[in-house]
Amino acid sequence: MIYTLCMALFFIGLYGICCKKNLIKIVLGFIIMDYAVNLFIILIGYRKNGIAPILDKTMDVKKFALSSVDPMPQAMVLTAIVIGLAVTALLVALCVRIYERYGTFDITKIRKLRG
């Protein structure tokens, strides 16, 4: 169920990128899509009633491995978030510069390049 919602979020983002006419809305669509992927990665590592993946000296390693959530996707998501931040920052900076040049955010009016 939650995977389906995650997929829906992904497609909402994709819809935003493909169909919206405003540059800022396209950027927002991109962010939504990025978050959907990040959420998906986190969900992979999730385990119901799992414990935090920190190994204490008092814990048994086997029992720990059976009950903790997977730490690997969390590490991946951190990296993916940072990359997403870089891309978003660059996109927004581009939007600002495009607004300076064209005076509009409407992509139907930003058409100096042919097909």
Partner 1 sequence: MERYIYLILLPLGGAFIIAALNAVVKSAKLRNIISDILANLVTLAAAGIALASFGIKGSYSVGAWPPPFGINLVADGFSTLMLATVNTIAFCATLYSVNYMDQYTSKRHYYSLFLLMLAGMNGVLLSGDFFNMFVFIEIASISSYALVGFGTEAEELEASFKYMVMGGIASAFMLLAVAMLYSSFGVLNMADIARAIAVSPRATTLKFPLFLFIIAFAIKGAIIPFHAWLPDAHPSAPAPVSAMLSGVLIKTLGIYAMTRIIMNIFAADVTGLAPLGIISIIIGMPLALGQTDIKRLLAYSSISQVGYIVLGLGLGTPLGIFGALFHLINHSIFKSLLFLNSGAVAYRLGTRELNDMGGLNKVMPITGGTSFIASLSIAGIPPFNGFFSKLIIILACVKAGHTGFALWAVAGSILTLSSFMKVQKLAFFGKIAEKHKGIKEAPLLMSVSVVILAVLCIASSFLLLPGLRNITLQPAVDALLAGAEYAKIIK
Residue ranges binding partner 1 (CB under 8 A): 10, 13-14, 17, 23, 26, 30, 33-34, 37, 40-41, 44, 70, 72-73, 76, 79-80, 83, 86-87, 90-91, 94-95, 97-98, 101-102, 110, 112-113, 115
Residue 8 neighbours by CB under 8 Å, 6+ apart? none
Minimum CB separation of residue 66 from partner 1 in Å reads: 14
Minimum CB separation of residue 24 from partner 1 in Å reads: 12
Unique residue bearing structure tokens 């190994």? 55
Using CA atoms, how far apart are residues 88 and 106, in angstroms rounded to an integer? 19
- Given a contact cutoff of 8 angstroms between Cβ atoms, the answer to whether 33 and 17 are in contact is yes
Nearer to partner 1, 59 or 91 (CB): 91
Nearer to partner 1, 56 or 100 (CB): 100
Q: Which of 86, 111, 88 is nearest to 13 (CA)?
A: 88
